[in-house]
Each structure stands twice: as structure tokens, then as C-alpha cells.
Structure 1
Amino acid sequence: MANTKLTSLESFLEEHPHITYATPSSSNYISLRQIFARDQEATPLAIVRPQSAADVSLLVKFAVSNSIKFTIRTGGHNLSGAAIAQDALAIDMRDIAYVNILADKKSAKIGGGVLVFDVATALEKEGLATPVGAVGSVGYVGWATYGGYGPLSRQFGLGVDQIVGAKIVKSDGEVIVADERLLKGLRGGGGLFGVIVELEIKVYPLKNVLTGTMVLDSQDLASTFKRFNTGYLQLSAKGMPSQLVLQQMIFNSPQGKVMCVAFMWSSEDVETGRTWLGKIEALATVVMNTVAVSTVADYLQGNAALVPESVHGAGFTHNFREITSEVAEIISGNLLKMAEDPGCMFVVHELKGASSTANNSSVFGTRDEHFMLEIIGYALDIKNRESAMAWAENTWAELAKTESSNLLPGKYISLDRPVLEPGTAPLSRLYGLNCREVLALKEEYDSEDVFSHAVPQLKNYV
């Protein structure tokens, strides 16, 4: 059956030679197929590279009329490997990668396949910036439409909060401009309702930032983690400027386990930024500090060395209102047990400031101020896969038993473990009170579940 479908696809593509593609027998198939989740072993029917929204429309129409399932790939960083599926057509959006800044320099239109780093780089040339994540090779559309935590979010809001317009390809192939109701669904629902071929996003004047990494004395890692978070909790209680975002990271270095704090001051008022840098430095013993005046693109470039191209294993996540002494005690104890593989890490993100403002224009579910934990059970060496995953799951399970009033019920879609069995998890854990709206939009725009491989797979939630 797959061969018959492939033959039909190749005949179709011969009529549209500008749409490049690769089949399993093509020399470039393996390189095009590579995604972040190395455990995803699926062999797509073929990989196609549309050049425009019109091409995506043609491909969707063809796939539906020939009963061919398909997936959508932007950056390929989905942690469960949802960018590809066995015998499904992989629509790789990475050639639709433009960034067009509007004349008023308050917004930009971007292609559905552009990467985070390329957005930051294009805006930087015009003295502009917009919230992005910490990893430049991630697809911007996937990052933004499912939430979009990042180093500028305290001041400007999450990725979903930047979206002011969108074009999507519907399940029948029609290209439409999203109305306000659909836009609300896209802001958190991502690709559930169609293929997002273009977004219009807010941009802001910002030429330079004060950013870099502080490496903390990690000889007594558990004590360092607890000391830093106790001090940070006290400092935060006095009030923090919206321009300041920190990201704590613990990872395996050649010298052993190391705790770092990424510092981002998103303002050109460098003097005030350095004052706050001094306050953060005082929370622990800093053995190396790379914080300097730089750009958002340079920040992403610096992070690239820490992010592997692909990994084995899985990650887990929790949202906590505060890193309390109870939470810090469990985390610090488990950091010492972290599998010794460069892919295994622990990261603390924050959702505060503008990101935590009640927002009725998105379906993103968790707006209470919180710390989002990324418990990264990854391994570069497959021999370490099981130990890395076991460490992450055990840490997650222990944290789940802490004070319930401090543990938010909502999970971040992009980091949550996929639900694979129907009826085993509530949809509210992703969308909170917006569940009905998400389901209503799905019924309106994709009642036949043409986009069945989109995240999350709604059929498995209750």
C-alpha cells in the first residue's frame, strides 16, 4: 500500500517540480529526516519541501484525496518526534522561512518554517527584537503557538502573546486568514486546526541586551542549588524588574555536574542591569561570568554549544508556584543522582511579569506565576538512555508528592509527556478552562481529524 501511495505522490510531484522531495531511497533522505528525538524510528513515506502557502495547499489536498496521513515539521524539535510518523508524508516547512518587517516596525510577518535564530537575526539588523526561546534551532511557529517561554517573556509576554495575525491551510486545502476566534485557538493550540503557513508577530525596539552565563561553584551542588534558590526567593519577594529573566541549568561537564545561571537583561539601560547582576551574583559563589553587552542572536548562538542535535530518552515537567524549601530539597538530592551523560540536564524556567497577566485572547492554560521545571532525561549515548529516563521520571514522581497547593495542575504542552492511550488524561491539564473552546474549534475546522498527528492528539484526552 505504501508503495502505491508513493508512486501516486511521485507522479503528483512531477507536475510540481519546484516542490523538492526525498523518498527513503534518496541520498539526502536521512539528513532531511533527522529530528531531535532520536528514539523516533519512523520511516516517513516521503519528505516534501513546499515553497509557499499555495504549495502546502496542494499537498494537503493531494494527501486527503489519496488517504495519505501527513505530519508537519518546522524545526523538528518536538520531544516525542511528532514531526514524522511511520508511512506518513512529512511536510517539511523549513523552506518557507521569510521574515518581513512591516513599515511601522511594530510587527513582522514570518513564514511557517522559519527557525528561532533566523527570526532573531533578521530583527537584529533593524534594531528590533521579539520574545524567542533559548534554542535557536527550534521552529518559531511551534515554539510560539504552544506557549513560548523565553528570556524576554517577563517584559513582553510569551510567544503566544506576540501573535497578531495568521494564515493557515485548512483540511480542505483552503488558505484562510485567521479571524479573532481562530487566532485565540492558535495561541496555545498550535497546529490542531490547520497548517500555519504565516504568522504576524509583535516586534520591539531593542538593539542590545546584557546577557551571559554565571557558572556557580558546584563542588557541593546540592548546597549551591538550595542556597541560590533561597536567596532568589527572598530577592523576588521584594520585587523584580520586568527586564530581568534568569534560567537555572544543571548539566554534566567534563569536570562533573555544574550549576549555571543564564542572565538576561532586556534593556539598553546597562547600568541598572549591572546593578541587578550584582544582586544575582551575591546569591552564590560565582566562579566564571560571561555576562556582557550583546544581542539576542548572539545569546542564541552561545546556547547552541549546549544543545545536542539529537538525543535518546525523554523529559518530564512540573509547574510550581515557588521553589520552596521542600521542592529545593528534593531537587538538590536528585541532582546528585543525575545520569552522567551530556544530554541529561535540569532546567528552571520562569513565567512572571507580562507572561502571567490574565489573557482571554489565548487558550494557553497556565497563567499563574510559576517556575516551570524541565527534567531532561536525555542521553547522547544510547547506553545511558534507560538510566537518564529513570532519573528524570523518579525526580518527577518525587516532586509530584510535594505540597499540592504549590504544584499547579497545568502542564506545558511542549514538554509534557504525550498521552498515547485514549481517555487516560484530562485535556484541562493543557488548556485549563479553555478546553471546550479548543474542542469546538477542532470540530469546526477539522472535524475529520485530518491533522491527526498534530500536538496534542485530542482523541487521547478526556
Structure 2
Amino acid sequence: MADANLAALESLFAKHPHITYVTPSSPDYTSLRKIFARDQEAIPLAITRPKSAADVSLLVKFAVSNAIKFTIRTGGHNLSGAAFAQDALAIDMRDISYVNVSRDKKTAKIGGGILQFDLATALDEEGLVTPTGAVGSVGYVGWSTYGGYGPLSRQWGLGVDQIVGARLVNSEGDVIIADERLLKGLRGGGGLFGVIVELEIKVYPLKNASSSLFIRRNGQVLTGTLILDSQDLNSTFKKFNAGYLELASSGMPKELVVQQLIVNSPNGKAMCVAFMWSSEDLEAGQAWLKKIEALATVVMNTVAVSTVPGYLQGNAALVPESVHGEGYTHNFRKITNEVADVIADSLVKMTEDPGCMFVVHELKGASATPNASSVFGTRDEHFMLEILGYALDIKNRETAIAWANDTWAALGKTESDNLLPGTYISLDRPVLKPGTAPLSRLYGSNCRDVLALKKEYDAKDVFSYAVPQLKNYI
């Protein structure tokens, strides 16, 4: 069957030679097959690179008419490797990458395959920003349409909150413009209802005033990493979080986001704090930086005036390109002393491999504002944990997974009122068996809207490999 499907595809590509593709026997296959999740061993039927919405429409119509299953790839960072499936056509969107800023510079139309670094760079040239995640090689559409936590989200909202318009290819292969009902579903439901070929998103000016302390240009931020004294990692983590909890109790500006990371450095385990100040008032940012520095002993400080692309470039060294293993997640209202104790104890046991990490995100400010026009499920203020049981060396895979699982389980036994029932879909472990998990854990009370839209726009489950696979939820 696979041979027949491949022959049919090659006949299609012969008629449309501008649409590039590779098969498992092609010289470029290995480089195009590379994704974040090394454990995903599925061999796709072929990998194709459409150049336009019309190309995607053609591919979907052909696949549906020939009963060929297909997957969609943007950045390829889905933690379970959903970009590929065995003997399915992989539609790699990365050649559909553009940024067209509106005349009033309030919105931009972007290609469905654009990566976050490319988007940030294009906007920076215009003195503009929009919320992105922390990793430049992640696809923007996948990041934003499933939620979109990031260093600018406290001020301007999550990724889903930036979406004001969309074009997508539906289950019949037609290019359609999303109405308000469908837009609500895309804001949290991602690729469940079609292949998103274009988004229209909000963008924001970042104008820097003159100053005697800084050489200014539009688009500058104050950002970098604080590396803390980690000789006693247990004590450092608890001390920092106790201090941060007290500092936050008096209120913090929306321009400030700090993200905690525990990584395996060449010198051992290290606790890092990523600092982002996204305001033209950089002097105020320096004052807040001093307050964050005072929470623990800092052994290195890389915080400086930079740009959002510069921030993403700086993070690239901290995040491996691909890993073995599994990730886990929890959402907590607060990092209480109890939660901090459990985390601190687990960090000492964290597998010593550069792929193994622990990350703390905070949802607050504009991100925590209820938004009835999205199906994103968790709007309560909270801390989202990435418990990343990953390894670069496959020999460390099992111990890394065991560490992450044990940490996740121990955290799940802490005070129940502090543990939110919902989890972040982009980090939640995939449900592989039908009827084994409630959809409400991803979408809360919005799960009915998600199911209704799926029935309306994709009743035959053409986009069966889209995240989440709804057939496995109840």
C-alpha cells in the first residue's frame, strides 16, 4: 500500500515540480527528518515542502482523495514527535514563511511555517515586537495556537491572545478564512480543524526614549541570564523562591518576566534565572534587576540591553536541538514552601545529562485575563512546570525519564488546592489509548466547544494526527 501511495504522490509532484519533496531514500531525507523528539522513529511516506496556501490545498485534496494519511510540521518541537507518523505524508510548512506588517503597524500577517526567531527578527526591523516563546527554532503557529507562554506574555498576553485572523485549508482541501467561531477554536485548538497557512497577529511598538545611560534604538529590551551559586542547589532553589514569593506579594510590573531554569552545565548542575524587561524605561528595569539579584547569590550576570532576536539567540545555547526521553508538567497556583521542598529535593537527583532540565514559567498579568474568545483552558494565575526527563546520550534515557516521572508523581501529592486540574497541552504527555483521559484537563469548560467545532469542520477526522488526538479523550 505504501508503495502505491508513494507512486501516486510522485506522479503528483511530477506535475507540480515547484513543490519539493524527499523520500526515505533521498540524500536530504535525514536533515529534513530531524525533529526535537529523537525517540519518534516513524518513517514517513515522504516529506514535502509546499510554498503557498494553494500548494497545501492541492496536497490535502490529493491525500484525502487517495486515502493517504498526513501530518503537519512547522518547527518540529512537539514533544512526542507528532510531526511524523508511519507511512504518512509529512507536510513541512517551513517554506511558507513571511511577515507582512499592516500600514498602521498594529497587526502582521505571517506564513504558517514561520519560526519564532524569523518572526522576531522581521518585526525588530520595524521596531515592533509580539509575544513569542523562549526558543527561536520553534514554529510560531504551533506555539501560539495551543497557548503560547513566553517572556512577553505578562504584558501583552499569551500567543492565543495575539491571533486576530487566520486562513486555513479545511478537511475538503479548500482555503477558507476563519470566522469568529472558528477563530475561538484555533485559539487553543491549533491544528484540530485544518492546516493553518496564515495568521494575522497583533504587534506592538517598543519605543526607547533617550537616556544618558543607554544607546537607544526602537525595539530594545533588557534581558539575559543570572547564574546563581548552585553548590547547594537545594538551598538555592528554596531561598530564591521564598524571596520571589515575598517580592511578588507587593506587586510586580507587567513588563517584568523571570523564568527559572535548572540545567546541567559543563561545571555541574546550575540554577539560572532568565530575565526579561520589555519597556522603554530601561532604568526601571535595572532597578528591578537589582531586586531579583538580591534573592540569591549571583555568580554570573549576562543581562544587558538587547533585542527579542538577541534574547532568542542567547537561549539557543541552553536548549538542545534534539533529545531522547519524555517530558512531564504540572500547574501550581503558587510555589509554596511544600512545593519548593519537593522540587529542591528532586533537583539534587536530576539526571546528569545536558538534555535533562527543569523549567518554571509564570502565567500572570495579561495572560491570566479570562478570554471568552479562545478555548485555552487555564487562565488562573499559576506557575507551569516543565519537568524534562530528556537525555542527549541514549544511555541516560531511562534514568532521565524515571527522574521526571518520580518528580511529577511527588509533586502530584502536594496540597491539592494548590494544584490546578488543567495542564498545558504542548507539554502534556500524549494520551495513546482511547477513552483514557478527560478532555477537560486540556480545555476546561471549553471542551464542548472544541468537540462541536471538530464535528462541524472535520467530522471525518481528516486531521487525525493533530494534537490532541480527540479520539483518545472522553
> Which bin holds the TM-score, normalised by the shorter protein?
over 0.9
Secondary structure of the structure 1 residue equivalent to 2:117? helix
Is 1:283 aligned with 2:295?
yes
Which of residues 344, 348, 355 in structure 1 aligns to 2:360?
Answer: 348
Which of residues 277, 292, 306 in structure 2 aligns to 1:265?
Answer: 277
Letter of the aligned partner of 2:406 in structure 1? N
Deviations 1:261-312 (A, max 9, x none): 0000001101100110011011000111011110000000000011111100
Deviations 1:54-83 (A, max 9, x none): 000000000000000000000000000000
Distance 1:427 1:181 in 2: 19
Which of residues 380, 386, 389 in structure 2 aligns to 1:377?
Answer: 389
> What's the CA shift for 1:328?
0.2
Is 1:455 aligned with 2:437?
no
Distance 1:321 1:97 in 2: 37
- In the other structure, the counterpart of 1:175 is 175
Is 1:319 aligned with 2:331?
yes
Distance 1:15 1:376 in 2: 45
- In the other structure, the counterpart of 1:399 is 411
RMSD: 0.4
Distance 1:178 1:300 in 2: 30
Deviations 1:162-198 (A, max 9, x none): 0000000001011000000000000000000000000
Letter of the aligned partner of 1:13 in structure 2? F
Secondary structure of the structure 1 residue equivalent to 2:68? coil
Distance 2:317 2:229 in 1: 21
> What's the CA shift for 1:146?
0.2
TM-score (norm 1): 1.00
Is 1:160 aligned with 2:181?
no
- In the other structure, the counterpart of 2:148 is 148
Secondary structure of the structure 2 residue equivalent to 1:293? strand
> What's the CA shift for 1:427?
0.2
Secondary structure of the structure 2 residue equivalent to 1:316? strand
- In the other structure, the counterpart of 1:430 is 442
**1:34-53 matched pairs, under 5 angstroms:** 34-53=34-53
- In the other structure, the counterpart of 1:114 is 114
Secondary structure of the structure 1 residue equivalent to 2:349? coil
- In the other structure, the counterpart of 1:256 is 268
Distance 2:5 2:283 in 1: 62
- In the other structure, the counterpart of 2:7 is 7
Distance 2:402 2:205 in 1: 45
Is 1:58 aligned with 2:76?
no
Distance 1:204 1:289 in 2: 28
Secondary structure of the structure 2 residue equivalent to 1:133? coil
Distance 1:343 1:234 in 2: 32
- In the other structure, the counterpart of 1:213 is 225
Letter of the aligned partner of 1:4 in structure 2? A
Letter of the aligned partner of 1:281 in structure 2? E
Letter of the aligned partner of 1:162 in structure 2? Q
Which of residues 306, 322, 344 in structure 2 aligns to 1:310?
Answer: 322
TM-score (norm 2): 0.97
- In the other structure, the counterpart of 1:69 is 69
> What's the CA shift for 1:24?
1.0
Identity %: 79
Distance 2:322 2:451 in 1: 33
> What's the CA shift for 1:44?
0.2
Distance 2:4 2:231 in 1: 60
Distance 2:30 2:238 in 1: 44
Distance 1:70 1:172 in 2: 14
Distance 2:99 2:390 in 1: 33
- In the other structure, the counterpart of 2:238 is 226
Is 1:240 aligned with 2:227?
no
Letter of the aligned partner of 1:322 in structure 2? K
Q: List gaps (5 residues or longer) in structure 1.
A: none
Deviations 1:352-396 (A, max 9, x none): 000000110100000000000000000000000000000000000
- In the other structure, the counterpart of 1:334 is 346
**1:9-24 matched pairs, under 5 angstroms:** 9-24=9-24
Secondary structure of the structure 2 residue equivalent to 1:398? helix
Letter of the aligned partner of 1:270 in structure 2? L
- In the other structure, the counterpart of 2:209 is none
Matched pairs, number: 462
Letter of the aligned partner of 2:230 in structure 1? S
- In the other structure, the counterpart of 1:124 is 124
Secondary structure of the structure 2 residue equivalent to 1:437? helix
Secondary structure of the structure 2 residue equivalent to 1:223? helix
Distance 1:256 1:268 in 2: 36
Distance 1:74 1:101 in 2: 21
Distance 2:24 2:268 in 1: 41
> What's the CA shift for 1:145?
0.2
Secondary structure of the structure 1 residue equivalent to 2:361? strand
Secondary structure of the structure 1 residue equivalent to 2:420? coil
Distance 2:301 2:321 in 1: 26
Q: List gaps (5 residues or longer) in structure 2.
A: 207-218
Letter of the aligned partner of 1:303 in structure 2? N
Distance 2:355 2:12 in 1: 41
Distance 2:430 2:38 in 1: 16
Distance 1:363 1:377 in 2: 29
Deviations 1:316-373 (A, max 9, x none): 0000000000000000000000000000000000100000001101000000000000
Deviations 1:184-236 (A, max 9, x none): 00000000000000000000002110000000000100000000000000000
